[in-house]
Structure 1
Amino acid sequence: MKERKNLLFYIAGEAISSLGDVMSGLAFLFLAYDLTQSAWYTTLIALAQALPYVFFGLIGGAVADLVDRRRLLVIIDVIRVPIVASAVVLYSFGHLTYGYLVLIGFLLQTLGCFFNPAHRALLPMIASEEKRMVLNSVMDSVTRGIQVLSPFIVTALLAMGHTVYLLLVDACSYIVSAFCISKITLTTVKGSVRNDKVLLSVFKGLIQYIQWLKNQSALLLLYAMTFIVVFLHTWVWQVGLLLALIEHSKHPKEWFSMLEGIYGGVVIAVNIVLPFVWKKLSMTVYVSGAFIWGCGVVLLGFVSEPSFYIVCVVIVAIGVPIAGLSRVYLLQQWLPQDKLGRGFSFNAVLLYIANSASLALFGWLSYYVSVATLMKSCGLIMLVTTGYLLLRFARKTLGVMPNKRLKS
């Protein structure tokens, strides 16, 4: 009974928090463009939200192992409420500036660097081992489900006349999330690691992992492809799509939120179907997913009618989960047990570096090159890179990680 109550509060908190994240993510992009009418400054707001994970992504996980996780989560949620509310108040009185929007975006995501690992680390403390896999699947479905429903909520709020209402929903979501987390009952409140030198250990472990990684050719290729694909995709998806809709639609915000919902729905469907198509995932499957992903990206650069964007988004939504689930599967297969944590952390930080580099470079290029040209270029590079690898795999199967490495 106690476990069931804890899981209900955990899932409810995650659901409302996911809704707030979607609302705030859209609000920051919309407000940035409303305030500046600039593609570069719209990109910069997205960059400001990605950089904290590059700087603090690994540290947040270490902190989560040192403190009372539930208390940390509640405190962070409570701190985030006045930060978001301040933007709502300033906007209402006509004093919200772009600089302040960048500042609070950076602060909120910095807090997220500490909230997210603590929230994930809380799960094993409230769910038995046999229920964790099912719960992880439920959590992913809840997150995707929120993404599907969010366009209806966004459209309704935008119809009320003010983009800032999206931030108001975000502030309320933090209050509900804090309440749900506070209702979770724990028998053990401290993190599993209490060593006051844990941060130093984290950095030493990373150096050791990098030294080990130098000789792992398959993993290096996986990491390299992940960086390239995410680098070429991030600006296109987070900023370029919105800018393209602004050029070709009278209601770009509504179209953007609707496309996000369609994307989430297709991803859910692919996640359900994928295990029936491939029992085992491989590097070839990963690259195939990235190739499909690239097809969707390059097509975005050729369409001008908003309704045709739906086709492109569906193609992207088919490729992304194939590549994403394959990457996770391969990391789990290829990483030794004692290197799993560092392997996934390294992968996460690599993703955020790719995100930041993409937003910075293509945001700057958008001053001189059209959005459509950038989309075509990014998609074409993805197709050439993945196409070359698929041809290479067809001629010669990529070597499998030696058993002795897997058992080391």
Structure 2
Amino acid sequence: MTQPVDPAEGGAPVQEPVPERVRRRGWTLDTTPLRDAGYRRLFWGIATTTIGQQMTLVAVPFQVYALTGSSFMVGITSMVALVPLIVFGLLGGAIADAMDRRRLLVVTSIGAAVTSALLAAQALLPGGGNLALLWVLTAAVSAFTAVNSPARYAVIPALVGPAGVPAANALAMTVRQIGVIVGPLVAGLLIGLGSLFTAYAIDAVGFLVAVLLLRGLPPLPPGREAGPLRLRATLQGVWEGFAFLRTQPVLLMTFVVDIIAMMFAWPQAVFPELSETRFEGSPNALGWLFAGISIGALAMGLTSGWVSKVDRQGAVVIVSIAVWGVAIIGFGYAPTLWLAVLCLAVAGAGDMVSAVLRSSMLQLAAPEEMRGRMQGVFIVVVTGGPRLGDLRAGGLASAAGVTFAMASGGVVVVLAMVAVALLVPSFWFFRASRSAAR
């Protein structure tokens, strides 16, 4: 487990001794944070929204492919979502450091519920929808999510305390993976039955339930005195966040390696094409492909007790991302649906380990008044990377085929991780225990 760091000491997280109770848990998922009433509300808020969000993430590319017949246009749709994600992710992090975070969570959840309802309505338009309107609403969903997510994760240390952060992250990510499995499978079934409207509507209902849960949270002010929101002050806050990040070299590298992994080996843009071509005879192929990564992530999450005890954090992150790359190579060549899903599951397991470690390091390395902005950068990276990956995969798949698009990306990721280990030895050899000894 890590604690906040002194930037003058080089930005390396400091590890606390692991309590005996935690050591005895071994490989099992640590559920201790659920004893906190506030975290339980946050936890179930994440759970209720994840299924619907993942259904929407399946429904949107399916609808785009149905309207255009092009994987490249699916990739373009990801770029439509990327711009508001970057802008509002960074601004949202600064906003989360300038106002009560409970209020921000409630307001953005209401906005997301309304936008999802509008997505459901446009699915009923003649001709199966309208591409331009779909893009506008997709951008709006991305904007609300980008503002909501930094606040959601910035409040975790305040709810469970520094010692509970790794376990709380593992819990939140594990329940999210359950939703990421169930959501695509249900969406695939609904889409197969011709009920695209229902897939979007469930997302709207999930956000409304989350609003009721989040309203019961205690006040969650930022670490500094909250004042009126002003654009100039918000932009200055974003700049201060980047200035702080420059003093944290270890954390900066966690962003770099994740961008590499997602940009070159994110496979989602090719799922609709594969379900219609290579796996056209397999029942609910689209749903299984979208669920594949999360099947592995869930399995890893349920056995994640060991992750909070990792000492060689940098090395484990690099190895985990290399596993992701190798698995995506296998996915590119997989001739059957079950083998493709297996490869995606292995990739998801590697990504889960990387995500838990990187998220915990970030939350605890930043002081309370900076956590929103750091989470804003984190959200931009972890969600923006896949959007760029969709564009790369969709474009390359249209030009050279799905196999080449996936296999070549996986090779780049593996080679890049080897390069990081050789060229940035401070990251590869980073030990949390040595930081504690300084």
* Normalised-by-shorter TM-score class: 0.7 to 0.9
Retained in 1: the 8 A contact 2:120–2:196?
Answer: no
Q: Work out which of the residue numbers 294, 302, 317 in structure 1 matches 2:325.
A: 294
Are 1:384 and 2:415 matched, yes or no?
yes
44-53 vs 20-29, which moves further:
44-53
Q: Distance in 2 between matches of 1:79 and 1:69?
A: 15
Q: What's 2:11 paired with?
A: none
377-386 vs 355-364, which moves further:
355-364
Q: What SS does the aligned partner of 1:248 have?
A: coil
Retained in 1: the 8 A contact 2:329–2:409?
Answer: yes
* Change beyond 3 A, Cα 1:346–1:123: closer
Which structure 2 segments of 5+ residues have no match?
1-34
Shift of 1:359: 3.0
Retained in 1: the 8 A contact 2:92–2:376?
Answer: no
367-376 vs 149-158, which moves further:
149-158
* Change beyond 3 A, Cα 1:34–1:346: same
307-316 vs 154-163, which moves further:
154-163
Q: What's 2:42 paired with?
A: 10
Shift of 1:67: 3.3
Which structure 1 segments of 5+ residues have no match?
none
Shift of 1:116: 1.9
Q: Deviations over 1:288-339 (max 9, x none)?
A: 2122111111112212322221231132123222333444466579889998
Q: Distance in 2 between matches of 1:127 and 1:338?
A: 17
Q: What's 1:264 paired with?
A: 294
Equivalent residues, number: 398
Retained in 2: the 8 A contact 1:147–1:261?
Answer: yes
Shift of 1:378: 0.5
How do residues 202-221 of structure 1 correspond to structure 2 at under 5 angstroms?
202-209=237-244, 212=247, 216=249, 221=253
How do residues 346-385 of structure 1 correspond to structure 2 at under 5 angstroms?
346-385=377-416
Q: What's 2:277 paired with?
A: 247
Q: Distance in 1 between matches of 2:406 and 2:332?
A: 5
Shift of 1:39: 0.9
* Change beyond 3 A, Cα 1:261–1:38: closer
Q: Distance in 2 between matches of 1:220 and 1:73?
A: 27
* Change beyond 3 A, Cα 1:252–1:164: farther
How do residues 390-401 of structure 1 correspond to structure 2 at under 5 angstroms?
398=428, 400=430
Q: What's 2:22 paired with?
A: none
Q: What's 2:257 paired with?
A: 225
Considering Cα pairs closer than 8 Å and 6+ residues apart, tell me whether 1 or 2 has the greater RCO. 2
How do residues 2-401 of structure 1 correspond to structure 2 at under 5 angstroms?
6-94=38-126, 96-123=129-156, 134-182=167-215, 184=216, 186=218, 188=219, 190-192=221-223, 193-196=225-228, 198-209=233-244, 212=247, 216=249, 221-234=253-266, 236=267, 238-250=268-280, 254-273=284-303, 275-276=305-306, 279-328=310-359, 345-387=376-418, 398=428, 400=430
Shift of 1:100: 0.6
Q: What SS does the aligned partner of 2:261 have?
A: helix
Matched to 1:321, the amino acid is M
Matched to 1:290, the amino acid is I
Retained in 1: the 8 A contact 2:56–2:199?
Answer: yes
Shift of 1:208: 2.8
Retained in 1: the 8 A contact 2:93–2:376?
Answer: no
* Change beyond 3 A, Cα 1:240–1:127: same
Matched to 2:316, the amino acid is V
Retained in 2: the 8 A contact 1:30–1:253?
Answer: no
The CA RMSD measured in Å over matched residues stands at 3.8
Retained in 2: the 8 A contact 1:17–1:177?
Answer: yes
Q: What SS does the aligned partner of 1:92 have?
A: coil
Q: Deviations over 1:342-384 (max 9, x none)?
A: 6655444344453343333443333322121111110121223
Q: Deviations over 1:224-265 (max 9, x none)?
A: 33322221122x2x2123322322122678223224434323
For normalisation by structure 2, the TM-score amounts to: 0.76
